[in-house]
Amino acid sequence: MMETNVTDTFFDALVIGAGFSGLYQLHRLRDDLGLSTLVIEKGSGVGGTWFWNRYPGARCDSESQGYAYFFSRELHEKWQWTERYPAHTEIRKYLNYVADSLNLKKDIMFDTKVSACRFFDDDKIWQVRIEDGRVFYAKWLISAVGCLSAANVPEIPGLASFKGDCYHTGKWPKEGVDFSGVRVGQIGTGSTGIQVASEIAKTCKHLTVFQRTANYSIPARNTVWDNTYADWVRNHYEELKALVRSTPNGHPFRISGNLAMEVSEEERNDMFEAAWAKGGLRFRGVFSDLLTSEKSNEAAANFIKSKIRQKVTDPDKAEILSDIDHPYAAKRPPIDTNYFETFNRENVSLVNLKADPIKEIIPGGISLKSGDVRDLDVIIFATGFDAMTGPLLSLDIEGSCLSLKEYWAEGPRNYLGLAIPGFPNLFTITGPGSPSVLSNMPVSIEQHVDWITDCIKYCVSGGYMRIEAEEHAAQNWTEHVRSTAEATLLAKVKHSWYLGANIPGKPRVFTPYAGGLVTYRKICNSIVRDGYKGFLLDQKTTQGPKMTFDFEAPNVTNLGV
């Protein structure tokens, strides 16, 4: 456990969370603006989502050369990733390296959970209460809690009766889990389940995968970097920085300008084959219209389904795994290392929950509607998160009039994903309505943190005590987020966590911004140029209620997905 001696109660700024967002925000506010800043972090170390996601096989789907900060050449040049995709252990090492290099840990209070945040309008100050009852105050409150930090364990009848151990992948024990000789049941086949199954199958006695919705997955083709490539990355800081800031999704590769239906079938298949051989999220970039044209998407979907059928030797399993009901990449597209091949192992079985749903969990395993019982010693929930709004709502935030829970009763509403009407001086890094999960996160995070820092600097230097998003601006932005998603196949999937559909009772609102990072950055910059259009500064409106966004409509080249 990290020691932080916090004796003060009043700060200029409080930041909640010490992942990629919180660390960079602390650095900018403390070291560039000279503000007294405290970060409050639930975990006992830095890492944010990567502090908790330690399940076997946990590895980022973004490529290492782009999954990093780009604000400092020195940090870039003194660090070396070792593989094409960074493993969770290496990401924590990297974030510790950054935190130590910038001497950040002394201003982070670890092992501390926020229980409530209240805004006092008379004093224009935020009060943050932590679980032991202590309170801290600050003029500026910044949420850096991430999008995927509130674990979702479905309420399956009988769960409490299970005699074995249960784990959620997003809250994995630090000391790890030994699966040798154990019968494991895994519920969930999203990006996480697809990573974890192939690793656990190698060591456990038997793995039963309970699949509700079949999923696409592209081979990741992870490799260890050789020294030549590592040197190239170290020596190409400016080029990489410019690249990730110029691509619509913040990844370090370009999306092709080709349309899938504008080439012959033979050419199309050759291009899919080449992209499949390259592997990873780059597959999506082979054509620019996979998320805007149903026909193009169907071609990609059929290609992947045929690959699944080739990989899986048991025809029944192959059928269940390739019976996918949604367009490719309209749900978050996973990438894998031998996921489908894992079902060829003798110690791996597959249960199709679409045909035979779970009836209940019993002391010795899982019982299905058909009466079939699977005996288990361990259940792994790879069942995802109450994404995007969940982590924010868990902070019990109360603004000048309403609680966030009340204000968002019908779904998230905010301005640029950054600020919420009625919640002055609060900023949300990668909040709902920002590109966040549809982009390479560190690149989105840097843009948000820089924007927030500039905004706070503007308020401090202008003598403004209070800044608040205007209601009409939030309404317009929320409508823009919705209509942007509607222009793509993303909105065609009704059962996706992008929409909140994985959480019973959660309002169905398409939450991330699908207009792409480049477009989004332009919009954010234009709002600054226009004197923080859409914000109230010290109660004075900065413009009239009519508002449109100066952006290009989503098209094949600016889609950030």
Candidates 18, 23, 39, 60: give the one binding ligand NAP (CB under 6 A): 60
Q: How far is the CB of 270 from ligand NAP (least distance, A)?
A: 28
For residue 500, which of 482, 517, 515, 484 has the smallest C-alpha distance? 482
Q: Which is nearer to ligand NAP, 295 or 495 (CB)?
A: 495
Candidates 476, 502, 511, 558: give the one binding ligand NAP (CB under 6 A): 502
Candidates 192, 222, 403, 434: give the one binding ligand NAP (CB under 6 A): 192
Kindly write out the interface string for residues 143-162 of this chain, putting x where it contacts ligand NAP by CB under 6 A and - elsewhere: -----x-----x-x------
Distance of CA 139 to the CA centre of its chain: 28
Asked if residues 52 and 171 have their Cβ atoms less than 8 Å apart, the reply is: yes
Alpha-carbon distances of 553 from 486, 515, 516, 526, rounded to whole Å: 12, 8, 10, 16
Asked if residues 58 and 87 have their Cβ atoms less than 8 Å apart, the reply is: yes
Asked if residues 328 and 489 have their Cβ atoms less than 8 Å apart, the reply is: no
Candidates 41, 51, 56, 61: give the one binding ligand NAP (CB under 6 A): 61
Q: Which is nearer to ligand NAP, 43 or 422 (CB)?
A: 43
Binding residues for ligand NAP, rule CB under 6 A, total: 27
Q: How far is the CB of 334 from ligand NAP (least distance, A)?
A: 7
CB neighbour list of residue 561: distance below 8 Å, 6 or more residues apart = 249, 284, 291, 329, 438, 488, 490, 514, 516
Q: Which is nearer to ligand NAP, 126 or 343 (CB)?
A: 343
| CA atoms of 422 and 67, how far apart (whole Å) | 34
Q: Which is nearer to ligand NAP, 203 or 213 (CB)?
A: 213
Element (H, E) at 362: strand 358-362
Question: Per-residue DSSP letters for 105-165?
Answer: GGGEE-S--EEEEEEETTTTEEEEEETTS-EEEEEEEEE---SS-SB-----TTGGG--SE
By CB under 6 A, residue 190 contacts ligand NAP: yes
Read off the DSSP letter of residue 169.
Answer: G
Alpha-carbon distances of 55 from 31, 378, 544, rounded to whole Å: 35, 14, 50
Candidates 268, 317, 332, 413: give the one binding ligand NAP (CB under 6 A): 332
Q: Which two tokens stand for residue 168?
A: 């959620």
Q: How far is the CB of 498 from ligand NAP (least distance, A)?
A: 9
Candidates 184, 437, 509, 556: give the one binding ligand NAP (CB under 6 A): 437
CB neighbour list of residue 260: distance below 8 Å, 6 or more residues apart = 268, 287, 289, 290, 293, 295, 296, 299, 300
By CB under 6 A, residue 440 contacts ligand NAP: no
Q: Which two tokens stand for residue 189?
A: 């086949």
CB neighbour list of residue 248: distance below 8 Å, 6 or more residues apart = 255, 516, 517, 518, 519, 557, 558, 559, 560
Q: How far is the CB of 153 from ligand NAP (least distance, A)?
A: 9
CA pseudo-torsion sign 318, 321, 327, 328? negative
Q: How far is the CB of 321 from ligand NAP (least distance, A)?
A: 12
Q: Which is nearer to ligand NAP, 188 or 516 (CB)?
A: 188
Q: Which stretch binds ligand NAP (CB under 6 A): 57-65, 397-405, 417-425, 481-489?
A: 57-65
By CB under 6 A, residue 92 contacts ligand NAP: no
Q: Which stretch binds ligand NAP (CB under 6 A): 95-103, 209-217, 222-230, 289-297?
A: 209-217
Kindly write out the interface string for residues 333-372 of this chain, putting x where it contacts ligand NAP by CB under 6 A and - elsewhere: --------------------x-------------------
Q: Which stretch binds ligand NAP (CB under 6 A): 53-61, 90-98, 403-411, 424-432?
A: 53-61
Q: Which two tokens stand for residue 256?
A: 């092709």
Q: Which is nearer to ligand NAP, 28 or 317 (CB)?
A: 317
Site for ligand NAP, residues 222 to 281, rule: CB under 6 A: none
Collapsing DSSP states into helix, strand and coil, what is residue 229? Answer: helix
Q: Which is nearer to ligand NAP, 211 or 425 (CB)?
A: 211
Kindly write out the interface string for residues 515-554 of this chain, putting x where it contacts ligand NAP by CB under 6 A and - elsewhere: ----------------------------------------
Asked if residues 117 and 396 have their Cβ atoms less than 8 Å apart, the reply is: yes
Q: Which is nearer to ligand NAP, 186 or 296 (CB)?
A: 186
By CB under 6 A, residue 329 contacts ligand NAP: no
By CB under 6 A, residue 87 contacts ligand NAP: no
Question: Per-residue DSSP letters for 522-542?
Answer: HHHHHHHHTTSTTEEETTEES
By CB under 6 A, residue 189 contacts ligand NAP: yes
Candidates 193, 280, 390, 424: give the one binding ligand NAP (CB under 6 A): 193
Read off the DSSP letter of residue 166.
Answer: E
Read off the DSSP letter of residue 297.
Answer: H
Q: Which stretch binds ligand NAP (CB under 6 A): 158-166, 280-288, 296-304, 376-384?
A: 376-384
By CB under 6 A, residue 497 contacts ligand NAP: yes
By CB under 6 A, residue 424 contacts ligand NAP: no
Question: Per-residue DSSP letters for 35-66?
Answer: --EEEE-SSSSS-THHHH---TT-B-SS-GGG
By CB under 6 A, residue 212 contacts ligand NAP: yes
Quote the Cα angle for 320-326-329, to 5°: 110
Contact residues: ligand NAP, CB under 6 A: 59-61, 148, 154, 156, 187-193, 195, 210, 212-213, 332, 353, 382-385, 437, 495, 497, 502
